[in-house]
Structure formats: structure tokens, C-alpha cells
Amino acid sequence: MSRITRTTERVLDNKGKLLIPYFVAGDPNLRTTLQLMHAVVDQGADIIELGIPFSDPSSDGPVIQRGVERSLQRGTSLNDVLDLVRQFRERDDSTPIVLMGYLNPIE
């Protein structure tokens, strides 16, 4: 059973609602993103959605677009995001992480 399925079933079985915060990876920087990820879990977040910065975030709203721009200005790459998840897993191996992005950087 996946982390997402396990977490979703646990919360819904208790008639709860899932808390899923979203972060643009690397905004304001990778270190702070990692700290924020741990902080929201400590405060009850169930799943974390982590945005992968991409140079043309046209489908996102203006707030996320600005976060993506700041992250890219600092040079955040897909490999950096994957390393961020690895670092998160060193302390937390159970909270699900969903990566959100565009297909272009992966192709």
C-alpha cells in the first residue's frame, strides 16, 4: 500500500479532511523549503505537494509563478528537488510527497 493510500484511508476513516500544503521547491531557498516541509508535518499536515520549478509556469496563478521565478533565479533544478525529497526522507519516511510539475523538464 502506498504512503498516499495509507494516509488517505487513515484520515478519511476518522471522518477527517486531508491537509495538503503546497510549496514551490527552492522558494525562498532549498534549505528553508526543507525546514517548512518538516514544520507543516509537525503541525499536522498529512501530505506535502512540492512544485518543481519550470521556466514557463503558464498554467499556474501569479503567486506560484512568482515563487517559481524566485526559485529558478537561485538555480533550482529537478535534481535539486529530488535531493530535497531525499533529505526530507532522512528524518521522515512516512509523510507522502506529491511532486507537481510540467512534463517539459522531464522529457
State the pLDDT at residue 59: 85
Write down the pLDDT at residue 86: 99
pLDDT of residue 57: 81
CA 58 vs CA 1, 13, 54, 55, 78: distances in Å: 34, 37, 10, 9, 18
What residues are labeled active site? 49, 60
Return the H-helix or E-strand segment holding 100. strand 97-100
Query: What pLDDT sits at residue 14?
Result: 92
Are the C-beta atoms of 48 and 20 separated by less than 8 Å?
yes
Whole-model pTM: value is: 0.91
Residues in the chain: 107
Helix (H, G, I), strand (E, B), or coil: what is residue 55? Answer: coil
97 in helix, strand or coil?
A: strand
Low-confidence ranges of the chain (pLDDT < 50): none
Per-residue confidence (pLDDT) for residue 92, from 0 to 100 = 98
Q: In what order do the strands lie in the sheet containing 48-51?
A: 22-24, 48-51, 97-100
Domains and their CATH numbers in the chain: 3-100 (3.20.20.70)
